Amino acid sequence: MLRTLARRLAGLVATLALISLALFLIIEVLPGDPAAIMLGTSAQADTLAALRHQMGLDEPAIARYLGWVGGMLHGDFGISYSYGVPVSQLIGERLAVTGPLTLMATLISLLIAIPLGVFAASRPGRIVDQGATLFSQLGIAVPNFWIGLLLLMALSLHLGWFPASGFDGWDHGFWQGLHALFLPALAMAVPQAAILARVTRASVIDVMNEDFVRTARAKGLSRSRALWRHVVPNALVPVATMLGLQISYLLAGAVLVENIFSLPGMGRLAYQALAQRDLVVIKNVVLLFAVIVIVVNLAVDALYLLLDPRLRGRS
C-alpha cells in the first residue's frame, strides 16, 4: 500500500515537471510581448526596453524557467504583470469562488444524474427512460454557457430569484454565497448530469443482468431492494471513473460560465490573463489546473478501493 502511494507520488512529481516545461515552452512561442501590450501603440523603444528589463523579460529563457520553478519550491509564484500583486494571493482569492462552484456543480450533477439514471434503467423503454434519454441528448448537445444565458434571462431578469451577476464574497454569509453561485453551478451541472445519467443508466442495466442479482431476486428480495442494495453500489464504479474524467471539462466550462455570470473565479482569471498576456498568471493557473486534474484522478483511484472491496486485496 505504502509503496503504491510512494510510486504514485513520484509519478506525480515527474508529470508536473514535464507539464511545467511544456507550459513554459508553449508560452515562449505564444505571440505577444507583455511589455508592448502594457505600453500600447504610442510607446517608445526606450520605454519598452525599460519595462522589459523591469519585468525581467530580457533575461535568457532558461534563467526565467529555472527562476519560476525555483521560486515555486519556495512558495513564491511571482507577481502578476497586470495586477501587481502576488499570483498566490490572486489564485487564493479565485479558488474561493471556483472551488465551491465546481463542487456545487458536481453535487448538483450527481443529484440529478444518479436518480435519473437508476430510474431510467429500472424501467427501460418507459416514459421515465425516454425522458431521461431526451434530457441526456439535450444536455450533451447544448453548451453550458448557453444554458447559463437562458437561466440568467429567466430566473434572474424575469423572476428576480437570483442575482444577475457577480459574487459578493463569503463575508456576507454562507447561504448568500451559495445563492449567488447556484445558477452558474446549475449551468455547469446540466451537461455533466446529462453524461453521468447516461453512464449510470447503462451501468445499472449491465449490473441488473448479472447472476448475483438474479440470485438475490430468487431468494425473495423485492425489486427495489435488490436495485438499491445490490445493483446501484456495484454500478457506481464506472460513474466514478466518468466523474474523474469530467473534472477537466468542468474546469474548462468554468471559464465560459464565469464570464457569463461575471464571477471572479479561476476561469475568468485565466481568460483575462491570456488576453493581456499576463504570463506569470497564465503559467501558474494552468499548472494548478493540471495539479487539480492529477489529484482528482488519484482521488478517483482511491474511491475505487472504497467502492469495490475486491480491489483492496490487490497491490
Partner 1 sequence: MSASIARTLPFFSARPAVLLSALMAASALSLALASPAYATRSDLKIGMSIEPAGLDPTIAAPVAIGQVTWQNIFEGLVRLTEKGEIKPQLAKSWTISPDGLTYSFTLQPGVTFSNGEAFTSETAKFTLDRARGEKSVNPQKRFFAAIDSIETPDATTLVLHLKEPAGNLLYHLTWPAAVMVEPKSADNDKTNPVGTGPFTLKSWTKGDRLELTARKDYWDKDKKVALSDITFRFINDPQAQVAALKGGDVDAFPELGAPELFDGFKDDKKFIAYAGNTELKVVAGMNTARPPFNDKRVRQALMMAVDRATLIEGAWSGLGTPIGSHYTPNDPGYVDETGKLPYDPEKAKALLKEAGYGKGLTFSIKAPQMSYATRTSEVLQAMLADVGVTMNIVPTEFPAKWLPEVFKGHDFDMTIVAHAEPMDIDIYSRPDYYFGYQNPAFNDTIATAEKTTDDAKRAELYGAAQTMLAEDVPALYLYVLPKLGIWDAKLEGLWKDEPIPSNDLTGVHWKD
- Segment near partner 1 (CB under 8 A); pick from 36-44, 113-121, 204-212, 302-310: 36-44
Report if residue 51 touches partner 1, rule: CB under 8 A: yes
Report if residue 40 touches partner 1, rule: CB under 8 A: yes
Which residue(s) pair with 86 in the sheet?
79
Quick one: which of 72, 48, 44, 66 has its CA closest to 58?
A: 48
Task: Answer for the pair 121, 207: CB distance below 8 angstroms, yes or no.
Answer: no
- Segment near partner 1 (CB under 8 A); pick from 70-78, 118-126, 172-180, 258-266: 258-266
Report if residue 29 touches partner 1, rule: CB under 8 A: no
Burial 70-90 (b: 16+ CB within 10 A, else e): eebeeeebbbbbbbeebbeeb
Report if residue 31 touches partner 1, rule: CB under 8 A: yes
CA 135 – CA 265 distance, rounded (Å): 28
Min. distance of Cβ 92 from partner 1 in angstroms?
11
Considering only residues 73 through 112, tell me which ones interact with partner 1, judged by CB under 8 A: 81-85, 90, 93-94
Report if residue 268 touches partner 1, rule: CB under 8 A: yes
Which residue(s) pair with 204 in the sheet?
none
- Give the residue, chosen from 110, 163, 179, 248, that forms a contact with partner 1 under the rule CB under 8 A: 163
Report if residue 264 touches partner 1, rule: CB under 8 A: yes
Where is 157: in which H helix or E strand?
Answer: none
Min. distance of Cβ 209 from partner 1 in angstroms?
48
Report if residue 47 touches partner 1, rule: CB under 8 A: yes
Report if residue 165 touches partner 1, rule: CB under 8 A: yes
- Give the residue, chosen from 156, 234, 241, 248, that forms a contact with partner 1 under the rule CB under 8 A: 156
Give the chain's count of helices (H) and strands (E).
14, 0
Cβ closest to partner 1, residue 46 vs residue 211: 46
> What would the grid cell of residue 114 be?
444518479
Report if residue 71 touches partner 1, rule: CB under 8 A: no
Q: How long, in residues, is the chain?
A: 315
> What would the grid cell of residue 154 be?
429567466
Q: Please state, in angstroms and as integers, the Cα–Cα distance from residue 222 to each residue in 100, 118, 161, 203, following that order.
A: 39, 16, 42, 20
- Give the residue, chosen from 179, 272, 291, 301, that forms a contact with partner 1 under the rule CB under 8 A: 272
- Give the residue, chosen from 60, 75, 125, 160, that forms a contact with partner 1 under the rule CB under 8 A: 160
- Give the residue, chosen from 33, 76, 206, 210, that forms a contact with partner 1 under the rule CB under 8 A: 33
Report if residue 276 touches partner 1, rule: CB under 8 A: yes
DSSP string, 27-82: HHHSS--HHHHHH-TT--HHHHHHHHHHHTTTS-HHHHHHHHHHHHHTT---B-TT
Which residues make Cβ contacts (< 8 Å) with residue 34, sequence separation at least 6?
Answer: 55, 57, 81, 276, 277, 278, 279
Min. distance of Cβ 94 from partner 1 in angstroms?
7
Report if residue 159 touches partner 1, rule: CB under 8 A: no
List residues binding partner 1 (CB under 8 A).
Answer: 30-33, 36-44, 46-47, 50-51, 54, 81-85, 90, 93-94, 149, 152-153, 156-157, 160, 163-167, 169, 259-265, 268-269, 272, 275-278
